[in-house]
Amino acid sequence: MSKGFIFLLMTFSPRCGLALAMMLMAPFSFSRAFSQDQPVSSDNAKTSQNLPQSSAPAASAREERASGDAAPVDQTVASTARSMGAASGDYILKPGDTIDMVVYHEPDLSMRAKIGKDSMVQLPLLGEIKLGGLTVRDATVLVRKKYDAEYLVNPQIYLDIAGYSARKFTVIGQVGRPGTYDCSGSESLGLLEAIGMAGGFTRIADRGHVIVKRRDGDSIKTLKVNAKKLSDPGVDRIEIKPGDVIDVHESWY
């Protein structure tokens, strides 16, 4: 319908012309309103822009997994510690013991050393440190603290016993095989076990009269032991120490 016809109709009947004009313009207004609502797709655009943000947790998860890749390293170190005899952590280090030190990621610092008679051991960068008299566990903690304080950041260090000091003792008197014996290892040695290593008591041995002579500094201590009672309940075990001399007397009857 032409604009001239609408103008002519409004001239003769303004109300009818105005109503007709509004009816004709309504579809166009509705179409424009609808087209203006179409930018809803912009919300979709926002949603699509938000999608990378939703993938951020995945990225962080990848970062966590990437950082988590270090876990097998820790497991490897832990298994190394176990294979190095972590069960001996309560063993007390003694002069003459040989220790292995492993410093993870620092192969130049890993080494083997022997504890001297003064209980000191020479370690790279640290110099002499007293480890004799400490358990393997306590010695490991001490060495870690020393390196952490001066040279390394959160060092992973493990100590293990590569060799035990020779614990020589001598058995004389009424035993099957008198002589000097070595007992190397982390286990303590009792008097009856030491006599057993020497062949046990002879038929004429006086088991109630066993003498253990032990050096204590510049003096010699003498322990009189009734070996008959050592196997009785509640009787303290006599532990043999390096340098001890065990004398099994002969029975007179």
Same domain? For 51 and 125 the reply is: no
- Size of the chain in residues: 253
Same domain? For 132 and 183 the reply is: no
Rounded CA-CA distance 130/133 in Å is: 8
Mean pLDDT of the chain: 75
- Looking at residue 237, which CATH number applies to its domain? 3.10.560.10
Domain of residue 220, residue span: 168-250
- Whether 87 shows a pLDDT value over 50: the answer reads no
Token readout for 117 is 């008679």
State whether the Cα torsion 83-86-91-92 is positive or negative: positive
- Residue 4 is assigned to a structural domain of this protein: no
How, if at all, do strands 245-250 and 168-173 pair? parallel
pLDDT score for 82: 44
Instruction: Give the C-alpha distances (Å, rounded to integers) separating 120 from 19, 146, 171, 190.
Output: 111, 15, 30, 27
Burial class (CB in 10 A: 0-12, 13-18, 19+), 112: exposed
pLDDT score for 13: 53
Using one digit for the tens of pLDDT, what is the confidence trace for 190-233? 999 999 999 999 999 999 999 999 988 788 999 999 998 887 78
pLDDT score for 189: 87
Number of domains in the chain: 3
Same domain? For 209 and 157 the reply is: no
- Residue 97 is assigned to a structural domain of this protein: yes
- Residue 1 is assigned to a structural domain of this protein: no
Q: Which residue has the higher pLDDT, 253 or 60?
A: 253
Using one digit for the tens of pLDDT, what is the confidence trace for 118-175? 999 999 999 999 999 999 999 999 999 999 998 999 999 999 999 888 778 999 999 9
- Looking at residue 149, which CATH number applies to its domain? 3.30.1950.10
Rounded CA-CA distance 222/175 in Å is: 19
- Helix or strand (DSSP H, E) at 75: helix 71-83
User: CB under 8 Å to 134, separation ≥6 — which residues?
Assistant: 92, 93, 142
- Whether 21 shows a pLDDT value over 60: the answer reads no
pLDDT score for 77: 43
- Whether 62 shows a pLDDT value over 70: the answer reads no
* Selection from 125, 136, 146 nearest residue 94 by Cα: 136
Using one digit for the tens of pLDDT, what is the confidence trace for 24-53? 555 544 444 444 444 444 444 443 344 344
